[in-house]
Chains A and B, each alone.
Chain A
């Protein structure tokens, strides 16, 4: 009887230890700061030009339960005329195996600068929206998405 009781306690202890171990693994992962691939990519695209961080409308969920299908949409205010329009919009994610998610090419025929799609997110991370205007200016915004179950197929 005594032996059984001891077994239970020891199993619990083992579980506690395991919990502690995973905690350390997680923390060490964050401690080893990796270079931000998405920000590097933004620099590459903008060729080190100044990118203003402004409040563009980027709609992503605050918490994504399933990382396989995360809806992302954006709406950038622009008259979309020959003299002033958004040429290209990039969506980047800094926690995915590859930072690029999508690149949209707009034309003045569209009358508005918005789009919706669905993306995969492997873990909790920041989503970046980078807009390139026809005059060569850049603007960006970011938003954090918490991911419960990652969706990049491990």
Chain B
């Protein structure tokens, strides 16, 4: 299986009160528990079930994912830039693993 790899796109700079768009994607199979492999055996359910975004330590956005979300979940959402800071993204896997990523943004 390919490695689970988070990716994110945050503008490096923004002006005050500008609404920016943040795009994220994580490479993950999102096995819904209904798919079958080549031998006809069911692949056990394994999905990303939670996605959290923190800005300077405070939670700003959250999403609960269900098996109906596609493979390699893509999530885009807005954010109102007010001050310089760091975004912390966190994806939670069904098996308890957490995948993290940080991005800096400068507001001028």
Contact = CB atoms under 8 A, between A and B. Distances in A.
Given A110-B78, A118-B74, A154 B34 contact: yes
Contacts of A118: 69-70, 73-74
Contact of B36 (A120, A151, A154): A154
Contacts, number: 101
Main secondary structure of the interface of B (DSSP, over half): strand
Contacts of A97: 34, 67
Interface residues of B, number: 30
Interface of B: 17, 19, 32, 34-36, 55, 58-71, 73-80, 82
30 contacts: A68-B71, A69-B70, A69-B71, A73-B76, A93-B68, A100-B66, A101-B68, A102-B65, A104-B77, A105-B62, A105-B63, A105-B64, A106-B61, A109-B79, A110-B60, A110-B61, A110-B79, A111-B19, A111-B79, A112-B19, A114-B77, A115-B63, A115-B75, A117-B63, A117-B69, A118-B73, A152-B68, A153-B36, A154-B35, A154-B36
